[in-house]
Amino acid sequence: MDPPQVETMDISGKSYPPIEDEQDKTADQCFAEDTNFDSSRRCSLHAEVNRGGTNYEQSPDPEVVAELAAEFRSVEAMFTLSAIMNMESHMFLTYPLICFLFLSSFVYGQLDYKYYDTTCPSLIKIVRNGVWSAISNDTRMPASLLRLHFHDCFVNGCDGSILLDDTSTFTGEKNAFPNRNSARGYEVIDAIKANVEKACPSTVSCTDILTLAAREAIYLTRGPFWSVCLGRRDSLTASQNAANDQLPSPFEPLVNITAKFVSKGLDVKDVVVLSGAHTLGFAQCSTFKRRLFDFDGSGNPEPTLDSSLLGSLRSVCPNQKDSDSNLAPLDAVTINRFDNVYFKNLMNNSGLLESDQALMNDNTTAALVSNFSKYPYLFSKEFAASMVKLINIGVLTGQNGEIRKNCRVVN
């Protein structure tokens, strides 16, 4: 049975109008309303309000453009402010612009916001309803889908390789140490892919479906919205060794994690921003238990860990082997809501993972944490920007890769 139409789109207790209600808004109306977190969600944190691009009815306010231009990362290298202000009315003004800042001209020429508009016009609706159905049954699913997407993109690019089962010719990523018994959401992508195949056979890649599903999952938890250039193709192989080598680990020092981000074309700001995804989801006790009982081999808990958090975590994760797979929320304050409380927790020495709390031990990252803890709107905007960078890492286009019919196996 097809998934139900989405009537409301928030799992934290408050209802919001469906996305379609925003389609008639102009960019200027969105900017005018975009004064707090709730309205920023409704306006998708930028002017791209109708999921297919906003056609501006009039020139944008120069002050708005100036503010946005100041937020772009490396935009100055490609565009002057006057060029931005003189763009044709059909151009995107905010984070959608970044889509082609981080792609080569060759790749950008084969990725497009409207790539499936004629070949699979129902794609967004199918993905949205599939994600909504999944998170209605499992409130952990938004974090799981985002993590699945992140782990895909971080290993040789966003190519759907994490979705492949092992074969006789390669050992894939599913059983790599960072994914084994922890990566979730495969069945959700399978279900969405099956519905997409019914509507548009052999047309939409598994990679694009995963990319869109992660975006929808975050938006449905009151998180930001970001535009997605489409047209990615699926990889023909996967590598467990690459996943073990390239994925950041919660046990690694911050300098190592940052180096891995830099190797993907990201930066230290992206480290902090994307760590903010830990506002959602759970972690297994095995990933943080040493902080509770034997930090650095001392036989004692980590001295800076908040004492009340220590007590609650010890009750969930007793010092015995059979508790390793027990789960604790990464943000125990607002478990199922995308917000900036994760950063507030870090300010109070209440980060769950050692790698999270380590963000407070470096002046640069600590300053970013402080800002995001104070300004939720800033965090949401930066998260959208970092996600646009992430989703365009190492994409396959043109004749590279394939369009899988089944996300688990190559054709």
Supply 124's token pair. Answer: 């967004």
Contact call for residues 85 and 68 (beta carbons, < 8 A) = no
Helix axes 123-137, 141-153, angle to 10 degrees: 130
Q: Give alpha helix (H) positions in 34-72.
A: 37-42, 62-71
Q: Which residue has the tokens 């478990």?
A: 335
Q: What is the 3-state secondary structure (H, E, C) of 113-150?
A: CCCCCCCCCCHHHHHHHHHHHHHHHCCCHHHHHHHHHH
| Calpha distance 100→130 (Å, rounded) | 28
| Calpha distance 354→348 (Å, rounded) | 14
CA nearest neighbour of 107 among 57, 159, 143: 159
| Calpha distance 332→351 (Å, rounded) | 10
248 labeled binding residue: yes
152 labeled binding residue: yes
Q: Which residue has the tokens 């590598």?
A: 239
Residues in contact with 171: Cβ distance below 8 Å, sequence separation at least 6, in sequence order: 239, 240
159 labeled binding residue: yes
127 labeled binding residue: no
Residues in contact with 34: Cβ distance below 8 Å, sequence separation at least 6, in sequence order: 40, 43, 45
Contact call for residues 133 and 194 (beta carbons, < 8 A) = no
Backbone angles phi, psi at 343, to 5 degrees: -70, -35
Looking at the DSSP bridge assignments, the partners of residue 396 are: 233
331 labeled binding residue: yes
Active-site residue identified among 46, 90, 149, 151: 151
Backbone angles phi, psi at 199, to 5 degrees: -85, -35
User: Residue 151 catalytic?
Assistant: yes
161 labeled binding residue: yes
Pick out the residues of the known binding site for heme b.
Answer: 278
Active-site annotation, residues: 151
Pick out the residues of the known binding site for substrate.
Answer: 248
Pick out the residues of the known binding site for Ca(2+).
Answer: 152, 155, 157, 159, 161, 173, 279, 331, 334, 339
Pick out the residues of the known binding site.
Answer: 152, 155, 157, 159, 161, 173, 248, 278-279, 331, 334, 339
